[in-house]
Amino acid sequence: MIELKTPREIEEMKPAGRFVGGILKELQETTKVGTNLLEIDEFVHKKIVDRKGAESCYVDYAPDFGTGPFAHYICTSVNDAVLHGIPYDYSLKDGDLVSLDLAISVDGWVADSAVSFVVGNDPDPEDLRLIKCTQEALAAAIDVARPGNRLGDISNTIGDIAREYGYPINLEFGGHGVGHIMHGDPHVPNDGKAHHGYKLRDGLVIAIEPWFLKTTDEIFQDPKDGWTLRSEDGSRGAHSEHTIAITENGPIILTDRTNL
């Protein structure tokens, strides 16, 4: 069931958005060559413990697309891993492409966001191009997330930009409704037909999350942890995500990191 939020409820969601956005901004600024993925996980754990009313959306999370409880505080996907990356004992190397995906509940309201970046001093231009594609697709999709447009307009906008860059599109995982739970209706695929689907309304809160792999749309679940999704051909992936509220005055990016 799709739930619409009142203006007051959207205001109540803003602290969660600022909290998640602030953590990701700090992690992007401090994560470097030599940073261990378990250090990133512990950093987020401490942030949650220190914030009154904050709860992890990942610990004990056990949906049917994972194997058992996730049991960590953030998704850390590196290189050929693009989604649901389980933090493990790995120290980042020069040129690694890192995607961090974080969802936290604050006072009962969830915010969900993701960022991708390359660590080190000599990033592969193709990695930067892939990241840029996800960022452009996200920004363009947010811009059309307005009352009166359709859900298909968001999906089609994302798909069109991926095609302009020449990247394949996977439709197994995409954006979703956000509220008191992390994953709700509606599903927001990363491609679709313009002017089709659910009519966007004032008060709809969704996470939009373009993610692409360089040369394939095929993924597999890493059997070592039962969660991490990797590309079938070993090509790298990138992922950008924001939680937004659709309002009569335009979309509000609840997880915006630019003004923190």
Can you say which residues are annotated as belonging to the binding site for substrate? 84, 183
Q: Write out the binding residues for a divalent metal cation.
A: 101, 112, 176, 209, 241
Residue 134 φ/ψ region, left for φ over 0, alpha for ψ in the -120 to 50 degree band, beta for the rest? alpha
- H/E segment holding residue 13: helix 7-30
What's the rounded Cα separation, in Å, for the pair 105 and 35?
Answer: 26
What's the rounded Cα separation, in Å, for the pair 65 and 25?
Answer: 28
Q: Write out the binding residues.
A: 84, 101, 112, 176, 183, 209, 241
Give the chain's length. 260
Dihedral angle computed from the Cα positions of residues 85, 87, 90 and 95, in that order, rounded to the nearest 10 degrees: 40
What's the rounded Cα separation, in Å, for the pair 40 and 141?
Answer: 29
Q: Which tokens sit at 109?
A: 């309201």
On whether the CB atoms of residues 221 and 232 are closer than 8 A, the answer is no
φ, ψ (nearest 5 deg) of residue 239: -150, 125
